[in-house]
Every structure is written in structure tokens, then in C-alpha cells.
Structure 1
């Protein structure tokens, strides 16, 4: 850390610093406490290497600088171009000085754009010689009437040709009519934690359907925000964290309810009896209030699903399945093949002798395996199709029941380093770095999320195809999408391998393109996007989100400045407001200092435990004082808080309801009195993250059938509907 707050001219003139900044690698940053940090040469060299850029010495830096500059000048047009519908867009072309360029545009539907594409010379820009060619600049004018979609620009200049992806996005995401002059509210839930009598020990897509329908029927909620539902492993052990998926393109097929697959009803009595016996082995887990056991569930559910798959499809259903496979294309092959390799060769490991490291999608061994186990490969394709159908059915049931949004899906920041996306398309990811967060007040040692970052250079080269398909897939089964750590669309904290989480730097992405893609996909389903913008967020990020019609997040426990809580009436309107997040204990637990106890027990504090507890007590009292001052809490409660804790929780929700935020989210764990945190950031197996079932304050499991009869839930519902 340095005492000044900007880099010196001498530092900025260094070739290494210039090279890093040229490709979007930050050479300094300002932390949460306004502390200024300059990034060390060692970290910059490592991060550049992860992008495939050699900066290992002075000569290498000079050569890389020349290569980057040369590559930019020799491109006729950038590989990805953003256009905002309703505006005229100007795009720079790098052309030869002797031939006039021609430009045509093929629209997403395959037709040719009929409007005029004008190229204007820029004589004021002096031509530059590159590889014996004099390169001049020209300006392509894209008219304001180009429709929304993903199109292709074709540029021809002499004997050079180049295509570019043109992403034409709406200016902003439109709010629903019901949000223009009011707000919508809904529930936050960890799907795996919510079990019914018919579950297989873990909440599933059928439980989600019932949660949505009953959430509307009994509480008049308009959405349910759920944990990420991205794809997982095909065999145990299953990764508990929904924020470390093997693929964000597909959904987690372990959430399938076997009995709700249409072909289950066509099975003979013997096969149905086998499946019932399998479910009977895990039925007792439904009422277990201690831990979710995904592995026990999947050991029984997977063979049950194989019985259903082996029964075959009707002619009509086979056509639907074939159409799904064709639409998904190579993406589905990537995931299904990875699942098959995992099944046959074991868990992927970062070991030189492991199949995931030794083999690629084009290896002869992989080709032979696909040929030998064609039926197993088809089974994994079928599982994904079935999962998508059940998730889609849940969303349709929500809308039929009257929910304005239905499912609000959560998008994880990244994927597992040994997952299918990284294995099938390693060129899309940086090598030798992982994603995390710098130190802050919530985790003073920083965080390493163990996820390989998407390369911003590869995204641009491919027209952001992988990101587009992932967003489209999420909106296929949701009315809203929450982007976890949306700052990652602007910049991500990259940590070089072998370095602590505190020793990294930010790498920047083209956020305008990525937000434009969100606007395209949301507009196609009349959906909403929420960006989790908590923590260290530059002001330009919130401004950009607002200009795109993307809501931010407001968390009651975080809305404070210098120890004073901001009254909810002063919160920003364009946000999803909640009392807490999945990274904090529920309201009752937070009021009992569960967050302090966990961190002290796990050694996550860099300051003394007594000091941290004292700061927590000060925060606690400041919150209660704000609630009293604003009329949300009877001051008499303060004299007997321990016995009137539910009243404090209700006051927190009265405060939430008193905000002008367009979306309000009530947590189901708060509504049943749960005290345990779902997740403790910065830990792996030290704490049972993402394995806590829904239980009340006395440690009794709360079943889905009984959920909406809970007394505190009904009181919170009344507050939210007032």
C-alpha cells in the first residue's frame, strides 16, 4: 500500500505498465477503506502470462507491446461491435489507402440488412505503415434502425476480408408496468434446503414449482429468488456450492423429480416398485434438520432416472428431444461428453496423469469412449433435457398462478476449474489465475473462489458467444436473473496461481457489451435483471447499471455510513432490497452475533475477537436505534430484546417495506426463525456451506407442506403486503 492515491508519471511511462493497461489489466486500485495499492511487477507479469502475453523481461515486454499494437492496426474492424438500437453508431475501420472498403450486414435471421451503410474517410488521421502496408482510418456509420439481435458485419478492403459480430441491443431494459409506480416483492430461498414429503432428501424442481405456486396463493408474492441452478457433476461427490458449477450453460439435473418425468407413468409395476424402493432409502433425509446429503440422494436418484430413460420415448417426445439436442449443438456435447468421461475415468483432478489434464475433446481416447458408450452419452443429454423441462414447467406454473416474474435465477460468477466448460473450451479461459476478491471488512484476508476467469480477449474474439448462450438459457426458464458480483462484468479480481488472495489485481471487461447482451435477452421475455453490486463498487458501475435499466442491491445490514444506518426511505429506488444475503446469518442469527462466532471459531479474523465483537455490538445497537427512530420498532422491545427477537425481525421487514426499492425480497430462513448461515465466505469444508436445510429457531426441520402456515412467516407476509 502506498501513501499517495495515484500512480506517478514515471511509473505510467514504464513499458510494463503501458502493456498491462493496453490489455485491460489494472496496475493500481483503491480498496474499500480508500487505501491505494500499486500492483507489483511480479503480479502484473503473471496476470499477463495468464492472458497469453509474455512480459517476462524487458525484451519480451517490448515485443509484446509491438505485437498488440500491430494486431490492432492490421484488423479491418474489431471482432465485436456494439450498437444501441435507436442511436447512430460510429465504428473505426483500419483500411488500406488505395482501396475503398465495402461493408454488408447479415441479420440474425439470415436476411440482409436493407439500409445504407456509409463509410467516411478520416483524413485528419495520419496513415501508419505496418508490414509494408499503409493503414488509414475510416468511420463506418451504423444507422439507428438496425434491429435488436446478434448480426454479422462483412468488411472487404482490397484483398483483405473480415467479419465482425454486431451486437445490437436495446438502450435499456424496460420495467414491468406494475413496477413503474410501485414495487414487487417475493421470497429468497435456497432450493436444495426446502424439502417436501415427496422429495428425495434434497429440494428439487417439483418442490420449486410448489413453492412458487403456493408462494403466490398464500402470500401473494411475485417471485422467488433461488440459488444458482447451474450444472453439476454426474456422479458423487457433488460439489455443495451452487456458485462453483461445472457449467453455467446448463442446469443441475440432480434437481429432477423422477416421478414427474412423463415416462415414469408408462413404466411397468416392477420398474415403478424399484424406483419407489430407491426413494424409500432417502425419504428419512427429508426431515433431517442437520445437513443436506446430496451424495446419498444422487446415489439413489440417478439409477432411478436411468430406469425411466431406458424405457424409451414416444415418437412425439423423441422429436422434442431431437429438436432440443439440435438447438443446443456442441454445448450439449461438451457437457454430456465430460459427464461420460467423469463416469468412466473418475473425478477430474489437477494432476498431470488425470484424464482431464491429459486429454482434450479431440483426443482419440475420448472419441473411442463416445463411440463405446453411446447410450450413456445419450442418457446425459436426456438428463439435461429433462431438467430443463421441469425447470421450465416450474416457471410456467408460477406465471399461470399469477406471479409477475416467477423464478429469479442467480448467475454464478464463474465455473469449476475442472468443469466441462474449461475442459472443452480451454481457450476461453485465462490460464494460471483464479477469481476472487481483495481484502475487505467482511473477509480481511481476501477471497479466492478457485474459478478460472473468462478471458476478455477470447470473449471479444468470439462475439461473446458463450456468454450469450448462457444468458439466453437462463431466461428460457426465468422471469428475472440476478447476476452475482455484477462488478465482474466490469472488472474481476484475478489472483495468480501460488499467490494469496490479497496479492492480485483487477482485469477489465467490456461491460457495455455484456450489459447489452443482458438487455437483449431480458427484453425478449419481458424480464428483469438485478446486479449484486455490494462491496467495493465504483460510482460509474452503478451509473452504468442504472442507464441500462438494471437494478442494484440494497441490504439493510449494509446500508450504513460511519456507523450510522441509512433509513430505508432514503435508499435508491432501482434496487432489489433485502434484510440480509446468503453470505450472512439469517436475521435471528445475526441478532445473536452468529457472524462473529463463526469467524472467531474458524480463525477468519485478523483483529482480536473481543474487538470484533465490540464493533458488532455497536453495529447492532445502531441498527436498533435506526428502527426505533424511524418508527419501525417499539422502544420497549429494547429492554427485553432476547425474548422479543421476533419483533425485531418484524421491524427489520417493516423497514424494508418502507424503502422505495422496486423489488423487495423476504428471506424464508428469516420467516421460520433459522439462525444458521448458509455460507461463510472464505471457507470450504471448515463450515458446512450450502448444506444447511430449512429449520426453525428450535432446530426442527420445516417441510414445504407446513411452510406457509408458519406464524412468523404469516406476520412478515402481512408486512410485505401492507
Structure 2
């Protein structure tokens, strides 16, 4: 139910057992959409989402029983399984027992040592239960609290995090700027038809030395399937714990240089069979690239390694832990038994420890080892790219992008299904101005109850891994730290429900990992985001996201409303002109987003959407004219002044107080085509559009930062001045 005037749930609705059960289980039973319209979650969606959490709400009797089980669990829990504390502050933990219980408590530190200070149980004047005070002297990190109350014992993970992520000194002294690119889209003659980690290394070095940039945001480089056909979207990975090995450059592996003549000729021939694709401006053939590269990598793997290199590989495997073995086992099952989707039963019928899987590993040990080796090589090349960025003078280097979730039939979901919601529930978002029909991203969400019970171990490992080779991490759809839109199978994106998460725990993890490397956290807080979310993120030192096309006065969602002056942007923000979900700015100015959505039947009312886009553009031009970035004559003829207007929008960006400013490489070269159209899959060549100029001439990696147009935009980002300003 939606209601433009209602602001809260009625007393009658709140009294319903289903609503009480949903709220007790962490569900939001109503919300405000992007236009501020009050909306109630349907009973059908609530029942289905509760089932995905293992809670039966299928009947009145089941609801009553589930409420009783919830209350019983609450009474039995001695301490919460996860406790979030703040470094330097005392944190009180309530012990769920009688006031006269005999309580002892201790803390095991993250490094295995014992926290030496005594933990005294104290009465709580506001409760019938005693408390324990965790002192402010507890060091930052992940620790374990042990509590005994009479004959009951319990353990809890303590996430002891800084209250605020400090801004690195290099960023605090003045704002920094950098580039955004889909790294796979930028290719060189050495590429295999798709941009790779070798191209990334060159881009980072050239961006630093030739344009003066301090960072480069790239698409997610999470792991994908081991065989083609590959999923094009980097936002639908098979695992967020490991890397995309299809981006490896074989020629940069040390062992390539040591190949004998015959083996090297085979690798070079495989490269040559796809090399011509590097100069094709059409959609990239990612499968042809991987089908050629994978056997080349196998040749290099089979050639062996020196004892020193073998020791490094062994250290990598040891440090990666059991999740690496699980990922390699999933890859092996995929390769030998076939893709897990379709009618193939192995995904549902086996686990990592299944006898059949262990037998498969024994029979194909070389292939299992090959998959572990690929992760090692990918990690080496990504680390090398980041180190090159820093050595070239960048303040931050790479900014890694964290996808919202993983593929429902991927390695993470197979190896550890208990981490995810059950019953085919997927993540997406309700209707908004990105997509009027809502979005279903096809990813199973983390089960918040599992995260709490395990001290967020899986999230901690993932975040730690990303910061090993990044100066900052961008959290796609940062609202997911607070709540996620769960879509029950068969109900459609419109008929979902928000499930709440312990954002303090996940922000604590981000704060610990960012602080340990002097890094930053960026939250993509666009779309349907409540005001309190932005406030909480700001308090924790997480940068928000400002996009010029959305930065209207009071963040109005209405196209045509006036745009705010640049001085009103948030300081604690990552500001840009555009995003990867919009066409490049030149294309946006030419209404290519309107024509594409119309062509793909994504609009309920195409004519109305066209009018709103025109109103939006007129409002932007008015802002540029009013602030002196362009003249009225330029605004009156957009096609004739396309580059000038694009650069004026970036000059306006430079006049904002935001800490980090971003320009897109596609805006630098004058590209018009969208990289991605939300709400589509095979209908459009998402994530396969190579970097090209306005005339669809491919721009190769070595030429990007020598391009006069890129140099022109670089000067504006460095100096903050457009031609007409």
C-alpha cells in the first residue's frame, strides 16, 4: 500500500502478530520511497522473507509459535554473539542473568594474548541484569569475550573500532582528484581482447605522471566463473573474497620469460589469435579472450617455478586459508562436472567435504592446484599495479569497488550456503528514478543472523583482502550496510521487503581495516537512502557520493528542479559528474539514456521521461550559466559545444568542497555509449563496451593520457578552471 499523506503505520497494523514477528526478526514493515511516499510491505512479501530467514509465518498458529521461539531465544542468550565497542570509550555489556549471579569474564585479544585488565561485573540500575564494562584501553581489533555466569558460559566477538575513520594527511591538506574507468574497456596491443592488469598498471602510472591524478576507481575485480561463457557484469561475481583471473596478463608472469622456445611460441600464438580484437570498437568478446588466455596460462603453470617462487606460492596458499581451497574446489567441479546452472545437480547435491568432491580433487590435483595458482598470480599483478600507482606519486592509488553480493550459484554460495538467505531470495531495489520497475540484481543476501553469530568473520576477511591492494574501497549500494531489499522468488522487484543489518558492526569492520592501512571508505549513497544513513556514515568518516546530475537543491528527486551551487556540496564526499550507470556526459547531453531506455522498453511513459530529461538538462545549463561556467550562447546550442559543456561541468565540480573529485575516462575521450543500462542483462551489451572516442575510434592504453581531449580535462581537474570561467 502506498499513501502520499500517511507518515507511519497505524496502531491496528502494529498490533498484528505478523507485523510484530517481522519487526522482531529485523524486517522493516514500511518505508518511504525515493519520492517520499509512504509504502507498506505486503503480507505476502513478509511471509516469504521470514521463511528465507528460517522463520515460519505461514499461518496464525505458525506466527504465534515463531514469536514464542524468538522470546525463548532472547531469554536464553547470556550475551550477544557480537559486541561493537569504540576505541577509547567504555562499552557496557549486559549479562542476561539474575543480579546475584557469580560472574567471571576475560578477553582473548586478536593476537591470541590475554587482556590483562580485570573485568568487573556491576549492577545495572536501569535493569534487573548485571553488566560488564569493557574498558577504553582495549586495543583496536577483533577480540573474544568469555563470560561465565554460574554454570552458563558464552563467548562473543568484540569488534573494537575507531569512532571515526581519519582522513589521510594527503587528502586532508587539500582535495584530491582522480579517474574512474572500467578497466576491462581499456586495451593495448599486449591485451587479449579485454583490458587486463597489465593495462591497469600502465593506466595508473600514466594517470599519475601525465595527468597528475591521485587515484583511479575501477570496476569490481571479484572472481568470476572458471570457464566461458562468462558473466559480463563485474557486479555479479562468483566470489567477493577472490580476484578475477581473466584479467591476468600472461606476458607479465615471471615464468613467461623463462619458457622454452616451443612453449613461448604456443603462448604467443594464442595471443595473436585474439590480438586483432583490441582495436575493434564493437562489443568485446570476453569469452574469446578467456578461451585463448586460459590455455596460455596453463602452459605457464605447467612449466613450473623456481624453488623461491614455489615457496612464495606456498605462503600464499597458507595465508589465504580454507576459503581458497573451497573456491578452487568449486572451480574444479565447474570444469569437470559442468556449469552449476541449468539441470546440473552437483551444486545442490554436494559440499566441499563431500566424498565425491574430495575424490574429484584427488583425481584432478593438477587442475585444483592450477586454480589456486591463478589466484596467486592475479594477486601479484593487482598488488604490483597498486604499488606502481603509489610509486608514481598517487596519494591513494587504486580505489576498489565492492559489489553488493555474489552469484547465487557461485563459489561463495556453494561452499558456505549457511552465510546466505534461503529459498531463492535475491537482492535488488524498489522502483526509483534509475528504473521505474524496480531492480532485481539476482544475488542472494547475507543472512544477518549468521553474520551476528559468527562475529562478521566472512565480512572481515573480505574487507581485509580488498585493502591489501587499495588505498580506498567504494561500497556499492552502501545502504546495504543498513538494510537490503529482499525479493522473494516469483514476486518481482516491486514486491520485496527491507531486511535490517547491524550497520555498526560492518562500519566497525570498515573502520578497523581502513585505519590499519591509512585508507578511506566511500559509500555509494544514491537512490532511496534515508537521511539518517547519510548522517551515520558521516559520523563514522565514510565519504558519501555526490553526482552532479542528481545534486539538486535539497536533493530533490524531481527532474527540472534547480541544481545546488557547487559550494553546497558535502565536504565529506566523493564527487563526480556522472556514474557507470549513466551514459558518458556527452551521451547524456544528447539524451542517449532516453533513447536507450525507450528502445529496451524500460519506461512506463517514454514521452514523460523525455520531457523530464529535457527539464533536467535545462536546469543544469541554467546552473552552469548562472555560475559563470558557460555563456547563454553555449547553452543554447549543446551539440555544437559538447566538449565545452562537459568540461564546464567538471570545472564546477572543482569548485565544490568535496574531499575527492572524480572524472570519468569516457568523459575524457568523448565517448557517448553507456557501459551499463540498469535493469537489463542480454538486452544490451552491458560491461562490454571498449573505450573509444566520439567517432568510435578505439583509444589504446598507451595513448589515453596523451589524448589532447584527456589532457584538456586533466588540466581542468588540476587547475579547477574551464575556458569560459
The normalised TM-score by structure 2 is 0.97
Return 78-87 or 67-76, whichever deviates more: 67-76
Residues 1:48 and 2:50 are matched in the alignment: yes
> In structure 2, how many angstroms separate the alpha carbons of the residues matched to 1:87 and 1:222?
35
> In structure 1, how many angstroms separate the alpha carbons of the residues matched to 2:541 and 2:77?
33
Aligned-residue CA RMSD in angstroms?
1.1
Deviations, residues 328-371 of structure 1 (Å, cap 9, x unaligned): 111101110000000001111154x5211222222221111011
Asked if structure 1 preserves the Cα contact closer than 8 Å seen for 2:625 and 2:635, the reply is no
Asked if structure 1 preserves the Cα contact closer than 8 Å seen for 2:99 and 2:130, the reply is no
- 1:178 to partner: Cα distance: 2.5
Asked if structure 2 preserves the Cα contact closer than 8 Å seen for 1:350 and 1:357, the reply is no
- Which residue matches 2:371? 380
- 1:527 to partner: Cα distance: 0.4
Asked if structure 2 preserves the Cα contact closer than 8 Å seen for 1:435 and 1:494, the reply is yes
Choose the corresponding residue for 2:406, options 396, 410, 415: 415
- Which residue matches 2:103? 101
> In structure 2, how many angstroms separate the alpha carbons of the residues matched to 1:124 and 1:716?
61
- Which residue matches 1:631? 628
- Which residue matches 2:723? none
Q: Say which SS state the counterpart of residue 637 (structure 2) adopts.
A: helix
- 1:109 to partner: Cα distance: 0.5
Q: State how 1:82-97 maps to structure 2 within 5 Å.
A: 82-96=84-98
Q: State how 1:242-321 maps to structure 2 within 5 Å.
A: 242-321=234-313
- Shift in CA distance, 651/377, structure 1 to aligned 2, threshold 3 Å: same
- Which residue matches 1:77? 79
- Which residue matches 1:67? 69
Deviations, residues 636-667 of structure 1 (Å, cap 9, x unaligned): 21343212211111111111111111000000
Residues 1:550 and 2:547 are matched in the alignment: no
Deviations, residues 475-515 of structure 1 (Å, cap 9, x unaligned): 00101100000000000001111111000110000001100
> In structure 1, how many angstroms separate the alpha carbons of the residues matched to 2:308 and 2:77?
49
Q: State how 1:70-469 maps to structure 2 within 5 Å.
A: 70-96=72-98, 99-122=101-124, 125-126=127-128, 137-349=129-341, 351=343, 353-432=344-423, 433-469=425-461
Q: Please list every run of 5 or more consecutive structure 2 residues that lacks an aligned counterpart in the other structure.
A: 720-725
- Which residue matches 2:607? 610
Deviating above 6 A after TM superposition, structure 1's stretches of 4 or more consecutive aligned residues are none
Asked if structure 2 preserves the Cα contact closer than 8 Å seen for 1:350 and 1:418, the reply is no
Return 688-697 or 306-315, whichever deviates more: 306-315
The normalised TM-score by structure 1 is 0.97
Residues 1:574 and 2:575 are matched in the alignment: no
Q: Say which SS state the counterpart of residue 564 (structure 1) adopts.
A: coil
Q: Say which SS state the counterpart of residue 640 (structure 1) adopts.
A: coil
Deviations, residues 197-231 of structure 1 (Å, cap 9, x unaligned): 11111111111111001101100100000000000
Q: State how 1:499-538 maps to structure 2 within 5 Å.
A: 499-538=491-530
Residues 1:699 and 2:691 are matched in the alignment: no
Asked if structure 1 preserves the Cα contact closer than 8 Å seen for 2:404 and 2:480, the reply is yes
- Which residue matches 2:12? 10
Asked if structure 1 preserves the Cα contact closer than 8 Å seen for 2:98 and 2:130, the reply is no
- 1:468 to partner: Cα distance: 0.5
- Which residue matches 1:650? 647
Q: Say which SS state the counterpart of residue 623 (structure 1) adopts.
A: helix
Return 104-113 or 703-712, whichever deviates more: 703-712
Deviations, residues 453-492 of structure 1 (Å, cap 9, x unaligned): 0010000011101100000000001011000000000000
- Which residue matches 2:664? 667
Asked if structure 2 preserves the Cα contact closer than 8 Å seen for 1:118 and 1:142, the reply is no
- 1:416 to partner: Cα distance: 0.3
Residues 1:683 and 2:683 are matched in the alignment: no
> In structure 2, how many angstroms separate the alpha carbons of the residues matched to 1:168 and 1:316?
38
Deviations, residues 551-579 of structure 1 (Å, cap 9, x unaligned): 00000001113511112221111110000
> In structure 2, how many angstroms separate the alpha carbons of the residues matched to 1:704 and 1:614?
38
- Which residue matches 1:539? 531
- 1:98 to partner: Cα distance: 5.5
Aligned length: 710
> In structure 2, how many angstroms separate the alpha carbons of the residues matched to 1:380 and 1:30?
46
Q: Say which SS state the counterpart of residue 541 (structure 2) adopts.
A: coil
> In structure 2, how many angstroms separate the alpha carbons of the residues matched to 1:559 and 1:125?
47
Return 463-472 or 629-638, whichever deviates more: 629-638
Deviations, residues 65-117 of structure 1 (Å, cap 9, x unaligned): 11111112211111111111011101111125663111110001110001121
- Shift in CA distance, 639/101, structure 1 to aligned 2, threshold 3 Å: same
